Amino acid sequence: MNPTNLFSKKSINPYKNEALNKIYGLLFCDNLDLYKSQTQSTAYPWNILFAESPDPGQLVAMTTDNTLETRHKLLAYHLLVSSGFPVNSKVLLGVVAEVALPDGLDVLAVFSDGTCRYINHSEKLLAWDVQTEQSNQLVQQLFSHSIKVVDQIGPWDKGRTSFPDQEMIKLTFLVSDGLYFGQGPLSALMNDRMAGPVIHSAIQLMGYLINQTV
């Protein structure tokens, strides 16, 4: 699962709809300015995240505050890592699977709190903010397979790369100490020892979510 063709595109905006491009960017929780442009609140936790000089102690406290959404925790970790504060834990908080189809990009983002976002290649958005017994089981299955991949690869030490080329799949793992990812031909990675179970779990979860909204 070595990253390939990392800089084949300059753009990281895959959709014609600019609102969807913003939602796509928000999924990775690595761009605080994008969150600032979408959020007017000054209440907790935004008052800490948007502070001119965020306090590391408060950010660390956020990462263990179970009243917060996973995305808030990821933003706190991102600020800690980008400021050079040592993050010694390796906690998997999100998985983003991107598949480039002939007519567009399919993206499934799954977070450890059970919430999910699915952007269809036809540029339709599915937001899943509830929890059911089955959705929780499918999320846990995906994370169980994903952590095995994270344990075998290291974090990417540069900025997030673009979406994959056609017939390729990109798996991004949102971890407390940074972004981990791999990409390659979908047909090959579906049979890969590490990536295959992640992809099949993501497909199962995506199918479940779609069936709940039709």
User: Mean pLDDT over residues 47-76, rounded?
Assistant: 97
| pLDDT: which is higher, 7 or 59 | 59
Q: Show the beta-strand stretches assigned E in the chain.
A: 92-101, 104-111, 116-119, 125-128, 168-175, 178-185
pTM above 0.85, yes or no: yes
N-to-C CA span, the chain? 34
Convert the pLDDT of each residue in 183-193 to its tens digit: 999 999 999 99
What is the distance between the alpha carbons of residues 117 and 127, in angstroms, rounded to a whole number? 5
Domain boundaries of the chain, sorted by first residue: 90-213
Confidence of residue 214 (pLDDT cuts 50, 70, 90): low
What is the distance between the alpha carbons of residues 75 and 77, in angstroms, rounded to a whole number? 5
